[in-house]
Structure formats: C-alpha cells, structure tokens
Chains A and B, each alone.
Chain A
Amino acid sequence: MIVDNLPALQVIVPLLGAILCVLVRRGWLAWFIALVVSWIVPLIAVALILQVLDGGVISYAMGGWAPPVGIEYRVDLLSAFVLLLISMVGAVMLPYANLSVESEISDGKRAWFYALYLLCMTGMLGISITGDAFNAFVFLEVSSLSTYAMIALGKDRRALLAAYQYLIMGTIGATFYVIAIGILYTMTGTLNMVDMSGRLGDVATVRPLFAALAFLTVGISLKFALFPLHSWLPNAYAYAPTFATAFLASTATKAAVYLILRFFFSVYGVALVFGIHPISEMLIALSLMAMFGASIVAVYQDNIKRMLAYSSVAQIGYITLGFGLANVPGLTGGVVHLANHAVTKGALFLAVGGIVYRMGAAHLDDFKGIGKKMPLTMAGFTIAGLSIIGVPGTAGFISKWYLAIAALEHGWGWLVMLLVLSSLISVIYIGRVVEVAYFREPEGKVMNATEMPLSMLIPAWVMILATIYFGIETSWTAGIASQIATDLLAGVQ
C-alpha cells in the first residue's frame, strides 16, 4: 500500500508537515517536525530511485485518474536523481537549522519559517516528480512564493527589498512559463508531458512551438538565474537567513534546471531544440559569460554570502554549458554538476553560516584571523573552496572533466582553455578569503569567537566530506548522471 503510493507521499509528507508547523506555533517544535519530515522524505526518494534503477520508469496516476486526463506523477532516473538530491540536502542541513535560525529569526516567526521551508521543499519535489506541465507550474509557484517569504525573513532590512526584487523577477518568469504552457496546450491539446511530446510531431505549424520554447527558456532561466537573468540572486542569497541561503543555493536552482532539462530533452527532444535554432550556441555563450562575468564580480565582493552568490551564478554557467554542448559527456557534466555544486555550495554556505552565527555577519573583515579561532569551520571552507576551483580529488573536478571531454568531442580546444581559465578566477576569490582568515591577526569580535556548536559543525562537515567523497567515488553521481544523459539524448520516455 505504502510502496504503491510512494510518489504521492514524496510530496504529501512535506506538505502535511508544513501545515503541522503552522499549527504548533512553537519554534523548536516546528523545527522538530521539519526534522522528522526532512529525514522521512529522503527515505522515500531512495526507495523511488531503487525502484527506478530496478524496474524502470514509475508512472503514478494521481487520485486514480489515468493520464493523460488525470495528473501523472512520473519518476524516471532524472526525476529520482533530483528528488534524492533535494531531499538529502534537506536531511543533512536541517539539524543545522535550529541554532542558526534561532539566532537570526525572532521567536514568533520561527514556526512560520519552518512551514515555509517545508512548503518550498514540497514545491521543489513536486516540480521534479510531476509529469504534468501545468501541475509543474503550480509547484513552481508553491516553491517560489515560499522562497520569497523565507528571504524576506532575513534580519537585514535589505532582505525585504531583495525578496521584492525576486518576487518581480520570479513572477515574470512564472508568467512566461504559463504563456508557454498555454501555447503548448493550444497546439497539442494536452498538458501531460509524455503525451505532449508524442503530439508535437503532428503539429502542422511549428512557429508557435518555437515561441513557446522561447517563453519556456527565458521563463525558467529566470528561475535558475542564467546570466544575464541572474540579478535577483546575489541580493536574495546575501540577505536571506543563512540557513535559507544554504538550502536554496543547494536546491532551488536545481529544481528549475530540472524543469528545463525536462522540456528540452523529454518534451521537445534534442532535434527540435538544438537542430533548428542556435540555442546550443546561445547557451554556451551565456554560460561562458556567467562563468567569467559572475566570477570576476565575485572577486570584488566583500560580503562573503554575496560573493558565494555570484559564484553560484558562475557555477550555474557550468551546468548550462553542459546542456549547450548537448552530447553525452556534456550532459553528464551538467547533470552531475547539479549534485556536485549542491554539496559544494551547501558546504560553503554552512561554513559561512557558522561565522555568521558567531560574528553576526559575514563581511570579509569578520574573517580576520578566524582560521585561528574557528579552525574546523575555516578548514572546511577551504576544502569546499577547492571543490569550487575544481581541484582533482574533489567533486568539482568531476564535473569539469566531463565538460572538457564534451568540448573536445566537438573539437573545441579553446573551450577547454576557457574552462580551466575560469577556474583560476575562483582561485582568486576563494584564496582572498582564505588569506584573510589565516594571515590576519584576530581583532575585535573575532578575539572571542569560538568554533560553531556541534549541531552546526557536524552537518557542515558532512557536506564538506561529501565534496571529497563525490570527488573519488562517483557511482551515485557521475554514474547515474551519465545514464541520465544517455537516456535524455536518446529521447527515452
């Protein structure tokens, strides 16, 4: 009974958890509920991915209404991978949340925060599991609206402005998405993605389809902050509560990236997306601009959360670069970087969160001599930083390896050079922080700083060790990603 309904439970459990959080009202109790939920959800995701690896795609008819009329939940390897990624990140991070959130959000609002977190989780899991284009929109909005509110809870007043900025941009993105779905529905008469994909071939006039594709691409790109649609992201990440930043940086953009992969490769198919219009070239150009532009901007940021936010924009460039290359190693690199960047950036934000917890902020000045006062935190930051740079032995290297091979398959040696050059820029922005942390003498508030509490240190280090683990043992990341890439390019439904 339970096993049959796992796809529905994947979404319903966090949704119910969110409602419970609001009902209990007490911060610590809400945290506990969120913790229990966050630990149940990955179990479901593991069960699902094992089923998929074992028996192929799971199709689940919501409410017993058979697709394409009813809403279909459809778990293929890509879905299962993203579900597992998002839920595991939540499970590792939530123990960290209690103290971090307590220090940044007032008592009355904490239960709301956890409710929002669980709603956001619901939305992202929903996007990744649903096989219905409109249902995906609903979940997209669930996750976006809860994200706006979470960001607005940041203690800095600029958080409000950041949330508002994101609200405007996000709404434009969502609107574009609905317009695209509207066009697609008009042309094909269905909202079910598999069904839609089958009927696209019969459509007589293809022009509206490309209009829809354009709306989709721009709309969803806004959500995952593809350069130059990234302007909401740095402020949002910089001023949101640190736990929210860490969680969103690891997951939120990933769900949106999933959606665009779904439309590009499953609904439209490689031939239609890349065959006619220069979308591939466009993606590669924008990705490169992100990799260089955002990295260079990151070098000049003194707010470290903001610096890492710009680094995220750059890292998203690596993901989309892989899609743009549109061959098996490229797509593998892009998909595996979803996971690798999630653990890496999660680890970095959790480490920075410890410094925010002790110092109240994460300005470069707050890092002076912190290496002596918080050695474990700073060592962790350094290790995760190496993964951003892409040093071999860390997760970041694996992604870059695949991307480089993909570039060579196209015969583009210059792209390999750009790839390695861009990682040199990250040496500068990570190195800058490391230098201040280890070579300056502690002064002011830093003098009294001590290591962050264990309940924060352990989750942070789990993430940090994961960046090394996934740099050496990659069957769960690169192994699955390459299978996903092969499936997507072959157009397997």
Chain B
Amino acid sequence: MTSQTLIILALVLPALTVLVIPLFHRQPNLRETITITSSGLLFLTILILLIRVLDGERPSIELIRVVPDLPISFAIEPLGMIFAAVAGTLWIVNSIYSIGYMRGNNEPRQTQFYMCFALAISATMGIAFADNLFTLFLFYEVLTLSTYPLVTHKGNAEAKAGGRKYLIILLGTSTVLLLPAIIWTWFLTGSMTFTIGGIMAGKVDGLTLGLLLALYVFGIGKAAVMPMHGWLPAAMVAPTPVSALLHAVAVVKAGVFTVVKVIVYIFGIDYLADTGAGDWLLYIAGFTILMASVIALRQDNLKRRLAFSTVSQLSYVVLAVAILSPISAIGAAMHIAAHAVSKITLFFAAGSLYTAAHITKISQMRGIGRKMPWTMTAFAIGGISMIGLPPTAGFLGKWFMLQGAMEGGKWVAVGIIIISTILNAGYFLPVIVSAFLRPVDPNASKDKDIVTDHGEAPLGIVIALTLTAAGTIALFLFPGPLYELASAMVDMGTEVTNVAPEPPALPVGGNSHE
C-alpha cells in the first residue's frame, strides 16, 4: 500500500469503528473485539508509516480544497509521526484497560463511550498528520467535541459542571484566539502550510509577531498554559481510561504538539530567536511549571494531583521549544512521548486503585503497595519518570532541555527545571514511600466507600499498566528511533534556514495587503 493510502487509513479506521460499534451494542464482547481489532490495525498502519518515515520518506496527500485557500491536506513529518505513534500505540493498551475498567465499575453507556473514544482517536490522527493550520484546526475542534461526551460520561451534576468548563475553555480559546490567529496568519503571509523554517520570516515582525505568538499559545487551550489550564482538572470527572489516554496523551499532547508545530513550522525557531518576539514565552511556561507543581503538592485527590502534574509537564514541552535552540526542541519532541507513556501509567494505576479498592485520595493510599504490588510498582515507575530520573523515559526529555538551555545561556530555564524537579519529587516520592513502607491506616476500614478486602484490579487493568510501565523503561533503554525522529525534525528546520537564507519574499498576487 502506498503511504498516502496508509495516511487515509489511519484516519478512516477509527472513524469506521465509530460507525460499526453501535451495530453491536447488545453484544459487548463483539463490540470490544471491534475496538481492539481496529486499534491493532491502526497500530500496524502506523508502524508501517513509522518505518517508512524513519527511512526518510515524507508522504503527503491533499484530500479536497474546501474553498480555494483552505485545503484539507496531510503530510507526515517527524514530529507528527512521533505523536501519531504514541497515541496509536497507547490506544491498544488503553482499550484493554478500558474493558477491565468499564466492566469492573459497571459503567453505563459503554457503547457511546467506545464510539466517542474511537472518534477522538481519529481526530488525533488528523491533528498529527495535518499539513496546514486549517486541517489541524478542523481536527482540533473535532477532538474537543468528541471528548466532551466522555468527560460528562457520569451524567451527574459534577460531570455536567466539569463538562461545561471543559467545553467553554477549549472551544472559547480556540474560537476567540486560535481561529483569529490562523486567519491573521493566512492574511499576512498568504500561507497556512507547515513549512520547514517557518513562513513568517520577512512578512511579519515586531509587535505583530509577538501578538500572534500570544494568540497561538493561549488559543491552543489544550496545551494548558496558565491561565488556560482550568479545563484539565475539570476533565478529571471522566472515567479513568478517558483521563489516561485523552487527558494525559491525546488531547493534551495535541495541545503541546500544536504549539511546537506552530513555533517550528509557522514561526520558525531561528526567526523567533532572531527577533526576540518569543522571549516572554519562557517565563509564562516556567511560571506554569512551578505554579502547577505547587498546586499539585496540595491536592489530596489523586487524579487532581496527576492533572496538575500534567499541566506542569505540558509546559516543559512549551518551555523546551521556547528556549529556541535545536537541542531543546529535540527535548520537547522526546518529552511528548516520554510524558505520554509515563502519565498514562500513573492514570492506569489511579484507575486500578479505584476499581479494586475505591480509593480516590492520596491519604487513603497508605500501605496499599502490599495489596496491589503490580499497580504500585507501575505507579512508582511512572512517578520516577515524572521526576525525570533514570532509568525512565522522563530523563530523556529533561536531559536535552537542560543541554539546550545551558548552551543557549538561558539560566532561567535551567533554574526552573531544577526547582520543578525538586517539586515533582516532593509530590510523588512521599506517595510511593508511604504506599510501600507505611502500614495500612487502621481507620480506613471505617470509611464506607473504601473496600479493604481486595487484591489486584481486574486482569485487563493490570496487563495494561504493566505494559506502559515497561514501556516507560524501554523508552529510556532504547531511545534510538525516537531520537532519530526528533532530531530529523530539527535538522530539517535548521538545514534549510541556514543553507538558504531567504530574502523577504513579496506576498503573492491577491494577498498583498501589507
């Protein structure tokens, strides 16, 4: 099959799943088989694409032009490939986990759950492979809308309130800030295509450039840069598989992915560095990293703590790209993958604790390590990766970020990374230590909600979290392909801008409005 066909397949497979699942809503086993099969096929598709992209192929395809200036088109570049591979691979694991979790907790409306989930994956693939801002925006909005029913899955007042916040912040930022930014970009440069070295050079400068960057950074609400982060803790009312794959991987990564993509392929790292229009971003990202960590320290609800940890970790990616050096950009790309696999492990563990023991709070986790060793070992690995210690994936991204920051003399960034590492340790290590070393709280059995006579969670859950925990370590041990892709992204970027410094091109034809 040609790579073009495979790109379409990656989008269509999950979308077809959406249509097929409701046909089997009375046969849950068959229904889940469809999800698993489809995720397996998607994985294969992405694997073939990954091999080809590693070989240097850069397939692209244009589907249709909505209006002459708005093409829906796809092209695979290394960063998108990383994102698609991460989301696609984790979908399989998450599907296994979902089956265990949704059945273990007797959740209602499971058909709707699997449908929306598949649609969200399709949208994620669209974002990963988008060749221009319009295509990306289209799927970005589909992702918001398809995950809304998942956030509100419980259907109670809390879910409804969380859902409202989710929708208003995500739709609000994207329509009020991101969309005007895209229209403005098109208007100023006459292009929306992701281009190596960016499209802004020579066409946009000064205050406009900084303003546009701000519109993008805050308009991409999914990246959860403060103060646009409020939707993420609100989204934690969703069932845990949703928090795990969507709000630790697909949705939030779609956010930072878009930020990286816009800075690398629309603004151009070198151009932003030369003009200094993006210097403020470093501070905003740094503030978010530290602030979110401080808030996370104070959360007793496990999923909320993880959510704020995600807010903090997402801004690592933004910080890394804001350092505006090629090496830290590699770090940004690697951190997208590393954080994905570690954070999904942590959420899997949180869901496992809830399913087996109805534990939702950190204060209830004392001594739980003895009863649920698999779960808590995985949790420990995920936590260590969050802190960024070897032998876990979290170490990789931080290493490159630090290297880039030091080479660029961005000592503020270095300081932020160091302080936040200490903070991360502050909110993960005590949890791990008390779960394994302290005795079970004798008062716990009085709490009616908590189950005390339990073992490990259902098998599906344990398999899933073991796999991702293993993945967290494997990524550290074998970072080859990931590094190759990440550096390919940067090589292309600097190569072209260094070799051929373009003269300020004149806007073409009808688009000359300057």
A-side residues, CB < 8 A to B, are 386, 389-393, 398, 401-402, 404-405, 408-409, 411, 413, 416-417, 420-421, 423-424, 427, 431, 435, 438-439, 471-474, 478-479, 482
Contact = CB atoms under 8 A, between A and B. Distances in A.
B180 A392 contact: no
B167 A431 contact: yes
B361 interface: no
Interface of B: 64, 66-67, 70, 72, 134, 137-138, 141-142, 145, 149, 152, 155, 160, 164, 167-168, 171-172, 175-176, 179-180, 183-184, 186-187, 513
Contact of A427 (B168, B183, B184): B168
A420 B179 contact: yes
Contacts of B160: 435, 439
Nearest to A382: B145
Q: Is the interface of A mostly helix, strand, loop or mixed?
A: helix
A373 to B, nearest CB: 15
Contacts of A473: 64, 66
Q: Sorted from nearest, which 8 A-B pairs have the closest CB atoms? A: A392-B138, A408-B187, A404-B183, A420-B175, A478-B67, A416-B180, A420-B176, A393-B138
A391 B145 CA distance: 10
A404 B180 contact: yes
Given A392-B141, A424-B176, A427-B172, 18 more contacts: A393-B142, A401-B67, A401-B183, A408-B513, A411-B513, A417-B180, A420-B176, A423-B175, A424-B171, A427-B167, A431-B164, A431-B167, A435-B164, A438-B152, A471-B66, A472-B72, A473-B64, A474-B66
B137 A413 contact: no
Contacts of A417: 176, 180
Contacts of A408: 183-184, 187, 513
Q: Is the interface of B mostly helix, strand, loop or mixed?
A: helix
Contacts of B134: 392
Contact of A393 (B141, B171, B179): B141
B64 A472 contact: yes
A413 B180 contact: yes
B299 to A, nearest CB: 27
A405 B138 contact: no
A405 B182 CA distance: 11
B203 to A, nearest CB: 14
Nearest to A439: B160
A398 B66 CA distance: 8
A157 to B, nearest CB: 37
A439 B67 contact: no
A393 B64 CA distance: 12
The residue among B152, B171, B183, B186 with the most chain A CB atoms within 10 A of its own CB is B183
16 contacts: A391-B145, A392-B141, A393-B141, A408-B513, A411-B513, A417-B176, A417-B180, A420-B175, A424-B175, A427-B167, A427-B172, A439-B152, A439-B160, A472-B66, A473-B64, A479-B67
B248 to A, nearest CB: 25
A154 B171 CA distance: 38
Contacts of A427: 167-168, 171-172
B256 to A, nearest CB: 21
A391 B179 CA distance: 10
A479 B66 CA distance: 10
B65 to A, nearest CB: 9
A389 B171 CA distance: 10
Nearest to B510: A328
